[in-house]
Amino acid sequence: MATAYVLLAGSSRRLVAELRDALDSCAERQRQLERSLRVCRRLLRAWEPAETLAPELTPGPETNEEAPSAACIPSPQDLKELELLTQALEKAVRVRKGISKAGEGDKAPSLKSGSIATSPATRASAPPSTSRRAGSRALETKPPRGIRQTRVPVKDLPERRLLSVGDQACMGQGAGATKPESGLRNEQIVLSAASQAPEAFTLKDKGILLQLPEAFRKAASWNSRLWAQLSSTQTSDSVDAVTTAKMQFLQKMQTTSGWPGSRLSATEVEAEVRHLQKACLLLRLRMGEELTADPKDWMQEYRCLLTLEELQAIMGQCLRRLRELCTAVVEQQLGPWPEGRFPRASLPCGGGADPIWSPQLLLYSSTQELQTLAALRLRVAMLHQQIHLEKVLMAELLPLVSKQEPLGPPWLALCRAVHSLLCEGGQHFLTILREDKPAD
């Protein structure tokens, strides 16, 4: 019984490979989604304040672009002191805000003694800063000014701290210590850190208060302007001159290469095949539409006929093109190149006609709408995959069934399995009734 289920090695390899491909691409998509989900879930929970501090203490791994502070690694004691310092600075910021709100003058001297020695992380006074921010969202100048006032006196503190740390005041220390300071300059980040507790920050309640840092805003708007510039089409003399120069260069390369004529590269063949696959699907769809249409009068009937004939002509063209490709592939000659196949690079979107991305928007108005959109995209992708698998299965399994003649139970079992795979997507099974010959 079991033997009938077994497939030939050749076709099974291909089938299994295709199915595994499909499974792998699903898995990859799932991984990406889960990564994104993790980030989103974390954002919607209460934001942890500790996380915002820790990275500032140690120089990050990407410091190869900044001045290398590799020589000195801050010792644990220094790290602890740095942490205390950072907390003190934050408290100083809050105190300063509270003070400047009340309209009083500098209190720098008083900060020196008190906060540094006292330990930690009391982050009180969340409300004043948040309400201040909420109120002043319209007047954006106020918060920065408030911070800049604190910056100057507070600057003394790290330097004093450094001197008293001792002989380990090297570059690394300096770099590490300035980080909390630069963090201060980044007003919003500190404010959001400061305003976090005792009530933790949640996006739901206080999301509206967020504001992007200035440096980032500038970089982002410049970025989208540059992209827009880059993707705008240019029409000018110089562009034509460049294109001509490129063509000439390619020609010369070809003629000096000693290889005859222009041959199709493997990449080009692949690209053509994919393109023709899409064309085939479109033709099939259009053909289906016309065949199922119900002409109401003779004009429509004739039009339908003409359309079908035109489709036939187009199909003929595609086939001719395919046959050309086949012969070209057969005639390819190999040079002293290494064997093997380079991993297939993903084709640029839209067939490569316009590979430059430009900033574009997709507007939606409700979560429901977004979900529908995403679900439909997935469904369409899934249908593409199912159609591809169906074609592969058809090509491999139908010949199998036709090869095996005897109508015994094993063969019927195979038919049933093949039917389920091909016609029901593997979901349903049919029942086979058989008239049994009496007692044999």
Helix or strand or coil: residue 47?
A: strand
Phi and psi dihedrals of 347, rounded to 5? -70, 145
Is residue 361 part of the contact set for another protein (CB under 8 A)?
yes
Q: Are 197 and 123 in contact (CB under 8 A)?
A: yes
Query: Which positions ≥6 away from 180 have C-beta within 8 Å?
Result: 56, 82, 85, 86, 89, 158
The smaller minimum CB distance to another protein, of residues 99 and 280, is found at: 280
Site for another protein in 416-435 (CB under 8 A): 417-435
Q: Report, in Å, the least distance between residue 65 CB and another protein.
A: 7
The smaller minimum CB distance to another protein, of residues 7 and 169, is found at: 7
Site string for another protein, 102-121 (x = CB under 8 A): --------------------
Of 343, 18, 52, residue with least CA distance to 189: 52
Q: Report, in Å, the least distance between residue 107 CB and another protein.
A: 27
Is residue 50 part of the contact set for another protein (CB under 8 A)?
no
Is residue 70 part of the contact set for another protein (CB under 8 A)?
no
Site string for another protein, 310-349 (x = CB under 8 A): xxx-xxxxxx-xxx-xx--xx-xxxxxxx-xxxxxxxxxx
Query: Which positions ≥6 away from 311 have C-beta within 8 Å?
Result: 283, 286, 287, 290
The smaller minimum CB distance to another protein, of residues 51 and 156, is found at: 51
Of 81, 211, 236, residue with least CA distance to 138: 211
Q: Report, in Å, the least distance between residue 179 CB and another protein.
A: 9
The smaller minimum CB distance to another protein, of residues 170 and 208, is found at: 208
- Out of 55, 68, 114, 166, which residue is the one contacting another protein (CB under 8 A)? 55
The smaller minimum CB distance to another protein, of residues 171 and 383, is found at: 383
Q: Report, in Å, the least distance between residue 170 CB and another protein.
A: 22
Burial of 306 (0-12, 13-18, 19+ CB in 10 A): exposed
Using CB under 8 A as the binding criterion, the count of chain residues that bind another protein stands at 227
- Give DSSP secondary structure letters for 200-225: PB-HHHHGGG----HHHHHHHHHHHH
Query: Which positions ≥6 away from 222 have C-beta within 8 Å?
Result: none
Span near another protein by CB under 8 A; candidates 6-14, 110-118, 126-134, 163-171:
6-14
The residues pairing with 262 across neighbouring beta strands, listed in sequence order, are none
Site string for another protein, 8-47 (x = CB under 8 A): xx--xx-xxx-xxxxxxxxxxxx--xx-xx-xxxxxx--x
DSSP secondary structure code for residue 48 in this structure: P
The smaller minimum CB distance to another protein, of residues 110 and 182, is found at: 182
The smaller minimum CB distance to another protein, of residues 27 and 70, is found at: 27
Cα angle for residues 146, 147, 149 (degrees, 5° grid): 75
Q: Give the ranges where 45-141 is alpha helix by DSSP (H).
A: 49-57, 76-102, 108-117, 126-135
The smaller minimum CB distance to another protein, of residues 125 and 186, is found at: 186
Q: Are 208 and 53 in contact (CB under 8 A)?
A: no
Span near another protein by CB under 8 A; candidates 77-85, 99-107, 141-149, 301-309:
301-309
Q: Report, in Å, the least distance between residue 363 CB and another protein.
A: 5
The residues pairing with 201 across neighbouring beta strands, listed in sequence order, are 47
Site string for another protein, 203-242 (x = CB under 8 A): xx--xxxxxxx-xxx-xxxxx--xx-xx---xxxxx--xx
The smaller minimum CB distance to another protein, of residues 85 and 165, is found at: 85
The helix (run of H) or strand (run of E) holding residue 373 is helix 367-403
Rounded distance, CA 190 to CA 182, Å?
10
The residues pairing with 47 across neighbouring beta strands, listed in sequence order, are 201
Is residue 141 part of the contact set for another protein (CB under 8 A)?
no
Site for another protein in 370-389 (CB under 8 A): 370-387
Rounded distance, CA 34 to CA 346, Å?
23
Is residue 406 part of the contact set for another protein (CB under 8 A)?
no
Is residue 139 part of the contact set for another protein (CB under 8 A)?
no
